[in-house]
């Protein structure tokens, strides 16, 4: 089956097809050598010429022994509150689809650029990688500008700000698994389409810690909105945090704001 037939594509032939031996075990020494050889310790922050200050040396190893499950799940449906409902992960409630994240303007247009992965030791071509996804996700967009660009442009982002860490930071932090070498958003695209794996709990937990009901980014943004005495959708309030949330498939809502306001009132209400 070719990449054009929507089979998950690595961007190169499999080792089994090529007759090569399987990969050697990923030790911390080998992982560092890959990171160093790929120049990951010179990675800069997205949209910046400054060295990413969060590159870990020695690096944390990525998750190991990840298994893709043979069964697939249906795509999510919308709940009454607008969140996406995954029946097997009811506590995972993003409210943006992968298509929305892409179409709204994210990652400076670079997410699916060509990369060399220190996790897998493979070089990937972005245009090959995205062939597994529905064509309508990219409808009306210039792939070269909005999806596979090697150059980050914050003006393409919805909130016109750069945010996030470099691929080197993600890899040296041990966040990237071998089945999703592009990171969390690639995992989300595949999870949305029904793929399940032994890495799902970890990836959902990462979302909850940042964007969930008690997630640090959601709470920080809502606190800033409260302090400014403005509305939940006032884009002037922390556009960087809003862009971060967008990358993780979430935008705060009016019910979010009201629930947070009530919680704060209860928290600071004088004791009777």
For 82-96, what is each residue's pLDDT tens digit? 999 999 999 999 999
Query: In the predicted model, what is the mean pLDDT of residues 110-139?
Result: 98
57 pLDDT above the threshold of 90:
yes
209 within 8 A of 122, measured Cβ to Cβ: no
Tell me how far CA of residue 263 lies from CA of 80, 222, 223, 226, in angstroms. Answer: 22, 11, 11, 12
pLDDT one-digit tens code per residue, 5-51:
354 444 443 333 334 455 678 999 999 999 999 999 999 999 999 99
pLDDT one-digit tens code per residue, 191-228:
999 999 999 999 999 999 999 999 999 999 999 999 99
Looking up tokens 């303007």 gives 105
Tell me how far CA of residue 262 lies from CA of 67, 83, 110, 265, in angstroms. Answer: 42, 21, 39, 5
92 within 8 A of 248, measured Cβ to Cβ: no
Query: In the predicted model, what is the mean pLDDT of residues 74-103?
Result: 97
Identify each DSSP E strand in the chain by its residue range. Answer: 77-78, 84-85, 115-116, 123-124
pLDDT at 10: 42
- Enumerate the domain spans of the chain: 3-13+30-209
Burial (CB < 10 A; 0-12, 13-18, 19+), residue 7, is: exposed
As a whole number, the mean pLDDT across the chain is 92
In sequence order, what are the beta bridge partners of 84? 78
Burial (CB < 10 A; 0-12, 13-18, 19+), residue 248, is: buried
Identify each DSSP E strand in 133-205 by its residue range. Answer: none
Looking up tokens 């247009």 gives 109
pLDDT at 100: 98
Grade residue 264 by pLDDT with cuts at 50, 70 and 90: confident
| Residues 245, 104: Cα–Cα separation, whole Å | 12
In the DSSP assignment, the letter for residue 230 is -
pLDDT at 25: 86
Whole-prediction pTM: 0.90
pLDDT at 15: 35
Query: In the predicted model, what is the mean pLDDT of residues 160-184?
Result: 98
List, in order, residues 6 or more apart from 263 with CB less than 8 Å away. Answer: none
């Amino acid at each position: 089956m070719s990449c054009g037939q929507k089979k998950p594509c690595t961007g190169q032939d499999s080792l089994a097809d090529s007759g090569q031996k399987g990969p050697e075990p990923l030790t911390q020494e080998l992982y560092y050598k890959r990171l160093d050889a790929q120049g990951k310790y010179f990675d800069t922050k997205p949209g910046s010429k400054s060295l990413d200050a969060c590159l870990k040396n020695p690096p944390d190893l990525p998750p190991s022994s990840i298994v893709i499950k043979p069964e697939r799940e249906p795509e999510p449906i919308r709940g009454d509150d607008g969140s996406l409902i995954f029946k097997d992960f009811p506590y995972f409630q993003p409210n943006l689809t992968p298509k929305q994240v892409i179409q709204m303007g994210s990652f400076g247009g670079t997410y699916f650029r060509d990369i060399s992965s220190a996790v897998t030791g493979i070089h990937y071509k972005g245009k090959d990688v995205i062939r597994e996804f529905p064509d309508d996700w990219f409808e009306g967009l210039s792939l070269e500008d909005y999806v596979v660009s090697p150059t980050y442009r914050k003006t393409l982002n919805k909130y016109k700000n750069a945010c996030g860490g470099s691929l080197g930071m993600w890899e040296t932090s041990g966040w990237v698994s071998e089945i999703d070498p592009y990171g969390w958003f690639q995992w989300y695209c595949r999870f949305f389409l029904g793929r399940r794996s032994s890495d799902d709990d970890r990836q959902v937990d990462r979302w909850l810690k940042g964007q969930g009901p008690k997630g640090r980014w959601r709470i920080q943004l809502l606190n800033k909105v409260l302090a400014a005495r403005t509305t939940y959708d006032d884009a002037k309030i922390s556009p960087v945090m809003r862009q971060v949330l967008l990358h993780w498939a979430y935008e705060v809502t009016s019910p979010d704001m009201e629930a947070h306001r009530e919680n704060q009132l209860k928290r600071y209400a004088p004791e009777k």
